[in-house]
Structure 1
Amino acid sequence: MWRPSLNFKIRESDMPDHYWRSLHYYNLYRLVIGGVFSVSFVLFGATLSFGEESPLLFFLTSIFYVAICVVSIITISLRWPGFKYQLAFQVVSDIVLIVALMHASGGEKSGLGLLLVASLAAGSLISRGKMALFFAAFATIVVLLEQLHRVLFLNDSSSDFLHSGLLSISFFATAWLARTLAKYATASEDLAKQRGIDLANLAQVNQLVIQDMQDGVLVVDENGIIRQSNTQAEKMLGVVIHKQRDLDLADYSPPLAAYFRHWCEDHEAVFEPLRIQANGKQIKVRFVPLGGEKTIGALIFLENVSIMQAQAQQIKLAALGRLTANIAHEIRNPLSAIGHATQLLQEEEGMDKTQSRMLQIIRDNTFRLDRMVQDVLQLNRRDRAEIEQIPAENFLRSFVEDFCQVEKIPSAAISLEIDSDQTICFDRSHLNQVLWNLCRNAWRHCQKQDASIRLCVTEAHIENIIQLDVIDDGAGVSVEMQPQLFEPFSTTENQGTGLGLYIAKEICEANGASLDYIEVAPGGQFRICCKGGTC
C-alpha cells in the first residue's frame, strides 16, 4: 500500500539555503493571495461575487489565511519546525483554506479551484517531487468532499461531480508533471554539483602540478588578469601575488604585460630575455595559447636564464676547476721559491735602477700569481658552509670597522642603511669574504667621498628573503661588460686576477643565496639575495 512520505534524502540540519528561500517565496505568494482576497472582499465583494453564499466564512477564512502566512514568515526565518513539516503544513493549509473560500463563493463555479493547481505545482517542485502525489490525492479528496456536501445539503446537481472530477485529474496531471520536472531538476543539480566537485579537484591538481614545477607559471585571461600562479613565478618576478582578488599582470610586471600584449597581436613573436630589476634575474618568457581556436588567455612559462647559464657554466668549468686546482698545488712551491729568491736579490747592494725595476716586476707578478693560486684553492672549499643566523646590524657595523681599518679607508666613506631586527642566514666567514671583495671593488671605483659606499639591508617582497645591496657612486659597469661580469678570469685591471666576483658568486650560491649586478644610474650596485629569519 502506498504511503505518503515526508522524508527527504537531505537531513534537516543540512538542508541547503535555496530550499528555504523557495519556501519563503512560496509563502509570500500565499500571503499575497490571502491579502488580495481580504481586500477584494471588503472593497469589491459584491461585484466579484466573493463569498456570495457565505460572506462571513469567506472573510474569516481570508483573514485566517493572512495570519497563517505571517506566522509562517517567522517560522521560516527561525527554521523551526523542520523544512519538510513547514512545507507540508503550508500546502495542506492552502488546500483546506482555498476549498473553504471556494465553498463560500458558490463551489466549483467560482473558479477558485484553479488556485489549487498553482499550490500543488509549487509544493511538488519545492519538495523535489517527493510529496507531489500525496498533495494531489489530498486536494482531490477535499474537493470531492466539498462537492459531496453541496449535493447532499445544498441541493446541487450531481452532474457537478464531473467538474470536480476533471479538476481532480488536473491535480494529478500537475503533480506528475511537477514530479517529472523536479526529477530532471534534481538530476541537473546533482550533475552540476558533481561537475563542480570535479572542477574543484581538477583545479587543485593543476595547482599542485604548477606549484611543483621548477619553472615559473602564470595563467592569465585575455584581459591580462592573473588567474593562477606558482611560487617560482613570484620568486622570479620578485613579487607576492595575492590570490584572493583578480589582479592585472601590469600591476606586478609592466614589461611582462607589454610582452603579453605584443604576443596577443602576434603569436609567433620571439622575445628577448626579461631582466627583473628587483633581483637582477634574466627571465626567458614563453607563451602558450589557451582556448583552442579562440584564444581566451595564455599560459606563461618563466625560465630563469641565469640558472640555465649557471648550470651550463658549472658543467663547462667542472673539469677546468679540477685541472686548475691541481696546477695550483703544483706551482705554489716553485712560486714561493721564486718570490723568496727575488726578495733576497733585492736585498743585495750595488744594484742599479734597471735591475731593481726588473726584480720589482718579478715580485709583483709573483704576488699576483700567488693570489690567483689562493683564490683557486679557496674556490674548492666554497661548499664547506656552516650557515647560521647573523644579526645584520651588528655584523655589518663590525665588518665596516674592520674593513676600514685594514684597507685604510675613512669610516665615513661607508654608510649603513638597515631595517631593524633583520637576520641573515649565511656562513659568517663566507659573508665577510663576499662583502670584503665587493666593498674593495666599490672603493676602487667610487669617488672616495663621504658615503660613497652604501650597505643597504632590506626585506624583499618575497617572504623571508633579505636583500643586501653594495652601492657605490662610481661609473658603474658598462653594458658590454655586464654579461662577462661573473665569469672567471674576466678583469679590466692589470693587477686583478678576474676571480673575485666569480668566487663571490659561487660562495653565495653555496650558501643558498644569489649575487647579481643591478643596473642603476649613476653608480654600481651589487645585490645579495639570501634567506632571512630562521635558518
Structure 2
Amino acid sequence: MFRKRLLWFILARVVVVSLFLVSTIVLRVRGTGPLSGQALDSITAILVASYGFSILSLLILRFAKKFGILLTYAQIIWDILFVTGILLYTGGIASPFSFLYLLAITSASVLLARREAFYTASLCAIIYGGIVDLQYYGQLVSLGLGPLVAQSYGTNYIFFTLFINFLAYFLTALLTGHLAEKARQSETELEKRAFDYEGLERLNSTIVSNLTSGLLTVNSAGRIRVFNRYAETLTGITQEDAYDRDLYDIFPGFRSLGGDPLNVRRGEFEYLPNNGRKLIIGFNSVLLGVTEGGRAGALINFQDLTQIKRMAENLKRADRLAVIGELSARMAHEIRNPLAAISGSVQLISQGNGIPEADRQLLAIVLRETDRLNGLITDFLAYARPNQPAKGSVNLYALVAEIASLLVPDRRFGAARIVNGVDSDFTLPIDSDQFRQVLLNLLVNAAEAMSGSGAIVIDADRIDEIRSGGEKRSVYRITVADDGCGMDQKTVSQIFEPFYTTKASGTGLGLATVYRIVEAHGGRITVESTEGKGTLFTIYIPVQGND
C-alpha cells in the first residue's frame, strides 16, 4: 500500500510538472508575460530536472525496494526545492505560486505522518519567509529579485502575506495530517479484516475439502460451483471438470426424484459411476441466498449409503438365519430319524412276496419322496450351517471349463451355450469346492430361465472400486449373464431369501446357498434383471490384503 501511494505521488508530480512546462512553452512562444527570457529558461531547466528526478525515483522504486523511506523523504525535499525555485524565478513575494508549498505539506502528511507534515510546514514557512526577507533587503538581485518590488508593498502587506501563508501552511499540516492518520487507520483495519477473510477462506476450503461426505453447490440455474474432494473421489470427476456443468450431467439420479432438485430437501437415488458398481446416494440440500429472479442456488450434502444399506439387509438376514440355524439344529435329528425308519420299513415291505403291483408302485412313491425330503434337509443344513471356506489359489478358467463339461449331458441345458470368457491365467483365492457349487447353482438357474436355449456368459476381471468412505480397494469381479426371461423387481429383491422360489419344484435354497458362500468369502453378490431381456449376477471377492 505504501509503495502504491508513493507511485501515485510521483505520477501526480509528473502531471503537475507537465502543466507547468506547457504554460512555460506557451509564454515563450507568445513572448508575452512578466517573465524574462532568462527566467523562462531557468524555469524550463527546473521542470526538466524534475522530470529526471521523477524518472530516477521510479527506477529506484522498481529495483531498489529497501530505499522506500529514504526515497519518500527525498520526494518531499525535492518538492520544496522545486517550489522554491519556481518562486525565485516568478517574482518572489509577487509570485502567485506560494500555494504550491501546500502540495508538499499535503504529500508529507499522506506519505509519512502528521509530525512530518508539521516539520514540512515549518520548513516551508522558514524558506518562504527567508525569500521575502532577503528580497526586501536586496540580497536576491542576482536572481532578478530587486528590493523595490518588495518595498513597494509596504511592511504591513508583507507581514500580512507572511501571516496568511504561514497560517495556511500549518492549518494544512493539521488538517491533512489528521485526515491522513484516519485514512491510515482505516487502511490498517481493512487489511486486518482482509487477513481475517483470507484466513476464514483457507479454513473454509480446508474443511470443505476434507469432509467425509460429498459437498457441492449449484447456482440458480442448476450449474455446479463447489465440488469437494469426496465428490471427486466418488465420481472420478475433478472440480475443474465439474465446474459449471449441469447437476443432471453428474448425477442423473436426481431426475428420478421428480420436480426441481433444488426444491427437494432430502432423498435417495441410484448412481452408476465409471467403475460400473451401482451405488445408493443419500442427500440433503439447503437453499442459498435468493436471487433477484426469485430462484436460489443450493448446497447439497451427499454420501454413499450403499454399504450402510447392505449392512442393514445383512443384519436382517443374519437375524433370520440365526433363528433358522437354531431350529435346524433341533429339527435335523427329529426329522431324519423318522424318515430313516419310514424308508427302512417301506423297503422291507416292498421286498415281501404277494404285494399287488399297485401297492408296490405306491411304496416306490413313498421311497422316492422320503429320499427327496432327506435331500431337502441336507441342502437346508448345508445352508444353515456352512463350513468355513478353505481358500486356495484357484484357476477360475479351468474351474468353469470343468463345470461346463459336466453340464453338457444335463437335459436342462438343451441348446444353451456356456461361454467361458475368463482369461486362461485368471486366478483368485477361493474355496474350489464351494465355488463349484456357486457356479453350478447360477448356471442351472440361468439355464432354467432360458428354457434350454440361449447363451450363458461367464467373465471375470480385477477392478478398483470406491467404498462408502471414499477410499479405493481392489476386488475380483465375476459375472454370470444370461439372455433368458429375466425377473421383475419384486423377485430380484427376494431372490436370495431362503425358501423363496418361482419354480414349481424348487426348494428356494440354491441362490440362498450361493449368497452364504460368497458372504463367507468376505464378498458380495448383486443381481440386475429386466423382464424379457435377461439377468446378470455379479460376484465381488476382495483381493487379499484389502479390507
1:86-97 mapped onto 2 (5 Å cutoff): 86-97=71-82
The secondary structure found in structure 2 opposite 1:480 is helix
1:67 and 2:52 matched: yes
Identity %: 18
Secondary structure of the 2:248 match is helix
Give the one of 124, 132, 146 matched to 1:142. 124
**What is residue 536 of structure 2 aligned with on the other side?**
525
Q: Distance in 1 between matches of 2:55 and 2:456?
A: 80
Q: Relative to structure 2, which stretch is displaced further, 516-525 or 64-73?
A: 516-525
Counterpart for residue 321 of structure 1: 321
Q: Residue type matched to 2:421 in 1?
A: S
Cα distance, 1:141 vs structure 2: 0.6
How far the C-alpha of 1:253 sits from its partner, in A, is 0.5
The alpha-carbon distance between structure 1 residues 353 and 199, as it changes in their structure 2 partners (threshold 3 A), is same
Deviations 1:244-267, CA, capped at 9 Å, x for gaps: 573442331133267596254x56
CA distance in 2 between counterparts of 1:533 and 1:41 reads 91
Alignment of 1:2-13 (within 5 A): none
Residues 332/135 of structure 1: CA separation in 2 closer, same or farther (3 Å cut)? same
Alignment equivalent of 2:24, drawn from 17, 22, 41: 41
Q: Which moved more, 1:400-409 or 1:144-153?
A: 400-409
Could you tell which deviates more after superposition, 60-69 or 178-187?
A: 60-69
Give the Cα separation in 2 of the matches to 1:532 and 1:60: 87
Structure 1 counterpart of 2:421, from 395, 409, 415: 415
Assess if the C-alpha contact under 8 Å between 1:132 and 1:178 holds in 2: yes
Q: Deviations over 1:497-531 (max 9, x none)?
A: 44555565566667776543345683323445676
- The aligned residue for residue 275 of structure 1 is 270
The equivalent residue for 1:477 is 487
2:499 to 482, 489, 492: 489
- Separation in 2, partners of 1:231, 1:342: 67
Residue 335 and residue 207 in structure 1: after superposition, are their counterparts in 2 closer, same or farther (change >3 A)? same
CA RMSD, 1 decimal: 4.8
Residue 190 of structure 1 corresponds to 192
Aligned partners of 2:517 and 2:104: how far apart in 1? 81
Go from structure 1 to structure 2 and tell me whether the alpha carbon gap of 1:476 and 1:40 turns closer, same or farther (over 3 Å shift). Answer: farther
- Which residue does 2:248 correspond to in 1? 250
Q: Deviations over 1:383-412 (max 9, x none)?
A: x898x9x9xxx9554553454355559996
For the Cα contact (< 8 Å) 1:275–1:283, is it kept in 2? yes
Deviation at 1:312, TM superposition (A): 4.6
Q: Which has the larger radius of gyration?
A: 2
3-state SS of 1:172 partner: helix
Range moving further from structure 2, 61-70 or 459-468: 459-468
CA distance in 2, matches of 1:113, 1:402: 111
**1:163 Cα deviation from its structure 2 partner:** 4.2
The question of whether the paired residues in 2 share the 8 Å contact of 1:486 and 1:502 is answered with yes
Given candidates 4, 21, 28, the residue that maps to 2:11 is 28
Contact between 1:120 and 1:175, CA under 8 Å: does it hold in 2? no
What corresponds to 1:289 in structure 2? 287
- Distance of aligned partners of 1:192 and 1:274 in 2 relative to their CA distance in 1, 3 Å threshold: same
Alpha-carbon distance, 1:66 to partner: 2.0
Give 1:170 deviation, angstroms: 1.5
One-letter amino acid of the structure 2 residue matched with residue 197 of structure 1: G
Paired residues for 1:154-193 under 5 Å? 154=145, 155=147, 156=150, 157-168=158-169, 169-193=171-195
Do residues 77 (structure 1) and 62 (structure 2) align? yes
Task: State the one-letter code of the partner of 2:326.
Answer: N
174-183 or 301-310, larger mean C-alpha shift = 301-310
State the Cα distance separating 1:142 from its structure 2 match: 3.5
Change (3 A) 1:133 1:323: same
SS of 1:81's partner is: helix
**Aligned pair in 2 of structure 1 residues 187, 362: CA closer, same or farther (>3 Å)?**
same
1:262 equivalenced with 2:260 (yes/no): yes
Contact 1:401 1:411 in 2 (8 A): no
After TM superposition, give the deviation of residue 177 of structure 1 in Å. Answer: 0.9
The verdict on how the C-alpha distance between 1:428 and 1:371 changes in structure 2, with shifts beyond 3 A counting, is closer
Deviates more, 1:38-47 or 1:474-483: 38-47
Give the aligned residue type for 2:501.
T
Paired with 1:60 and 1:476, the residues of 2 have a C-alpha distance of 100
Cα 1:396–1:448 shift into 2, 3 Å: farther
1:50 deviation in Å? Answer: 11
**Whole-angstrom CA distance in 2 between matches of 1:109 and 1:242:** 74
- Where 1:28 maps in the other structure, the secondary structure is helix
User: Match of 1:274, as an amino acid?
Assistant: F
Aligned to 1:359: 367
Q: Deviations over 1:86-125 (max 9, x none)?
A: 4443344344334434543445776656566556556655
Conserved in 2, the CA contact under 8 Å of 1:372 and 1:497? no
| Partner-residue secondary structure (3-state), 2:499 | coil
Deviation, structure 1 residue 345: 7.5
| AA at the equivalent of 1:240 | G
Deviation at 1:35, TM superposition (A): 4.3
Written as runs of structure 1 = structure 2, the 5 A alignment for 1:91-130 is 91-106=76-91, 117=102, 121=106, 124-125=109-110
Displacement, 1:239? 0.9
- AA at the equivalent of 1:224: G
**1:370 is matched by which residue type in structure 2?**
T
Task: Give the secondary structure class of the aligned counterpart of 1:489.
Answer: coil
Alignment partner for residue 113 of structure 2, among 117, 131, 140? 131
Question: Is the contact made by 1:137 and 1:172 (CA closer than 8 Å) also made in structure 2?
Answer: no
Q: Is the contact between residue 430 and residue 507 of structure 1 (CA under 8 Å) also seen in structure 2?
A: no
Deviates further, 282-291 or 54-63: 282-291
Displacement of 1:329 in angstroms is 3.2
Once the two structures are TM-superposed, the CA of residue 64 in structure 1 deviates from its matched residue by 2.3
User: For the Cα contact (< 8 Å) 1:147–1:160, is it kept in 2?
Assistant: no
* Corresponding residue number in structure 1 for 2:381: 373
Counterpart AA for 1:28: L
Farther-moved stretch of structure 1 (102-111 vs 164-173): 102-111
Q: Which runs of 5+ in 1 are unaligned?
A: 1-17
SS of alignment partner, residue 490 of structure 1: coil
Amino acid at match of 2:536: Q
Question: Aligned partner of 2:487: which letter?
Answer: V
Larger RCO, structure (CA 8 Å, separation 6 or more): 1
Take 2:527 and 2:478, find their aligned partners in 1: how far apart are those partners? 10
- Distance, in Å, in 2 between the alignment partners of 1:139 and 1:281 is 77
Describe the superposition over 1:209-243 as per-residue Cα deviations: whole angstroms up to 9, x where unpaired. x42x6xx55444434344556676667xx513533
Tell me by how many angstroms 1:186 deviates: 1.2
- Does the CA contact (< 8 Å) of 2:383 and 2:512 recur in 1? no
Query: Given that residues 20 and 47 in structure 2 are in contact (C-alpha distance below 8 angstroms), is that contact kept between their aligned partners in structure 1?
Result: yes
- Three-state SS of the structure 1 residue aligned to 2:488 is coil
> In the alignment, residue 29 of structure 1 is paired with which amino acid?
A
AA at the equivalent of 2:173: F
Question: Quick one: structure 1 residues 451 and 519, their matched pair in 2 at CA, closer, same or farther if it must change by over 3 Å?
Answer: closer
Inter-CA distance 372–512: structure 2 relative to 1 (3 Å threshold) = closer
